[in-house]
């Protein structure tokens, strides 16, 4: 009997006393939808967040955005400071976008500030990361665009851009420092009169931003690095001469890409890269409309191929100058030529590597007009 009593006491104690120590009630939390890092004074971090609140009533939901900004020593410190300002529990687990101010990423190694995201199991690892021209804080302070809060707006904007292959698919997880051997590029946002807008991508060398590519260049860059999104559309010149009116442009949809990247190391330990790109495209807009003629089409293919090859060479040149290894050539060297890699001063070597770039294009479809 006494033993049974003990069991009953233990059982009810487990039931009644243990509860709720790690509870995290949804209704008590305040959720950040977008966060931004800027350079603060004295080497401190200026962290800005927008908390999205929603009120559901019978007539529908109503969004509002509350912006807080603190000056902190580290990300975790920023969270503590923000928690002192925010009513309810501060919760970063639903961050959709992390913005990095341009000045901050050009001068600072930003990865130490990301460390906390890789340690907390509840981290929003799929949050997107973007660089903003000027300060991230200014963009977050826009608060709302139309009915959407700023976090949701930028998230949707980046999502759409990813699908049309204007920007690479990058989130906090893919930025993890363990993933070595290539350099990443982040979307580059500008504040266009109170409206965030995409303006190409920011190239990084290591963890510092070094160069910007505009949207046209970024599309080609993504083709060259073999990371096409759902679809990719480019408007190119259809004549060699300088285009003067809209008849001189053609728009193509890339259907299929075939990329060959070869890193060759000669006997003298000279590194060279062969990058061949084969595209199969659909013409979706061709105002001059002469494609029913096979010679015209072949001519157009040739012009476009040359044009893309030239553009690609320019992009690779830019990348080399910016010390941005977006194709992962370092990774190939690490895995296939480890001895060479150990002797190599990569930062010095990379801009010297000769690239053999060729883009060939084939039109497979010209739409339903014959």
Which residues are at the interface with another protein (CB under 8 A)? 1-2, 4-5, 15, 18-20, 22-27, 29, 31, 52, 54-56, 61, 63, 93-94, 96, 122, 124, 155
CB 54, min distance to another protein, A: 4
* Of residues 63 and 306, the one with the C-beta less far from another protein: 63
Kindly state the helix (H) or strand (E) to which residue 286 belongs, with its residue range.
none
CB 29, min distance to another protein, A: 7
Q: Are strands 148-149 and 144-145 parallel, antiparallel or unpaired?
A: antiparallel
Tell me, what DSSP letter sits at residue 24? -
* Of residues 61 and 178, the one with the C-beta less far from another protein: 61
* Of residues 57 and 369, the one with the C-beta less far from another protein: 57
CB 61, min distance to another protein, A: 6
CB 225, min distance to another protein, A: 28
CB 80, min distance to another protein, A: 20
CB 55, min distance to another protein, A: 6
CB 129, min distance to another protein, A: 16
* Of residues 18 and 241, the one with the C-beta less far from another protein: 18
CB 315, min distance to another protein, A: 34
* Of residues 151 and 326, the one with the C-beta less far from another protein: 151
Calculate the alpha carbon distances from 163 to 57, 96, 232, 265, 313 in Å: 33, 17, 8, 36, 25
* Of residues 1 and 178, the one with the C-beta less far from another protein: 1
> CA dihedral defined by 363, 244, 220, 355, rounded to 10 degrees?
100
Backbone angles phi, psi at 166, to 5 degrees: -90, -25
Output the furthest CA–CA distance in the chain (Å, rounded). 100
* Of residues 4 and 268, the one with the C-beta less far from another protein: 4
Q: Are 204 and 192 in contact (CB under 8 A)?
A: no
CA 89 – CA 28 distance, rounded (Å): 6
Q: How many separate helices (H) and strands (E) can be counted in the chain?
A: 11, 15
Backbone angles phi, psi at 99, to 5 degrees: -100, 140
CA 246 – CA 239 distance, rounded (Å): 11
Q: Between vectors from CA 211 to CA 208 and to CA 213, what angle results, nearest 5°?
A: 135
3-state class (DSSP) for residue 215 = helix
* Of residues 26 and 241, the one with the C-beta less far from another protein: 26
CA 124 – CA 95 distance, rounded (Å): 6
Tell me, what DSSP letter sits at residue 351? G
């Amino acid at each position: 009997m006494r033993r049974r009593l003990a069991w009953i006491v233990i059982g009810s104690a487990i039931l009644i006393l243990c509860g709720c120590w790690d509870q995290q009630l949804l209704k008590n939390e305040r959720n950040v939808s977008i966060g931004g890092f800027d350079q603060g004074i004295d080497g401190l971090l200026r962290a800005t967040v927008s908390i999205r609140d929603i009120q559901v009533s019978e007539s529908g939901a109503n969004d509002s955005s509350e912006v807080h900004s603190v000056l902190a020593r580290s990300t975790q410190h920023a969270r503590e400071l923000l928690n002192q300002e925010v009513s309810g529990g501060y919760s970063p687990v639903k961050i959709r976008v992390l913005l990095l101010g341009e000045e901050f990423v050009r001068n600072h190694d930003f990865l130490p500030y990301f460390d906390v995201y890789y340690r907390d199991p509840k981290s929003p690892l799929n949050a997107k990361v973007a660089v903003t021209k000027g300060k991230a804080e200014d963009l977050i302070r826009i608060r709302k665009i139309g009915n959407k809060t700023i976090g949701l707006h930028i998230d949707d904007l980046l999502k759409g851009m990813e699908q049309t292959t204007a920007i690479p698919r990058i989130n906090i997880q893919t930025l993890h420092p363990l993933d070595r051997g290539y350099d990443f590029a982040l979307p580059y946002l500008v504040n266009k009169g109170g409206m965030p807008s995409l303006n190409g991508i920011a190239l990084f060398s290591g963890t510092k931003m070094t160069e910007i590519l505009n949207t046209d260049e970024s599309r080609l860059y993504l083709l060259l690095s073999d990371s096409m999104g759902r679809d990719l559309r480019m408007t190119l010149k259809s004549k060699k001469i300088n285009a003067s009116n809209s008849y001189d442009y053609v728009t193509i949809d890339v259907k299929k890409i075939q990329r060959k990247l070869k890193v060759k190391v000669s006997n003298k330990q000279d590194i060279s890269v062969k990058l061949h790109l084969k595209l199969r495209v659909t013409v979706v807009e061709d105002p001059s409309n002469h494609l029913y003629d096979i010679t015209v089409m072949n001519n157009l293919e040739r012009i476009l191929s040359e044009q893309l090859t030239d553009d690609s060479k320019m992009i690779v040149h830019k990348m080399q100058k910016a010390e941005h290894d977006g194709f992962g050539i370092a990774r190939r060297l690490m895995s296939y030529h480890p001895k060479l890699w150990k002797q190599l001063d990569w930062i010095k070597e990379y801009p010297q590597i000769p690239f053999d770039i060729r883009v060939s294009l084939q039109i497979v479809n010209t739409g339903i007009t014959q």
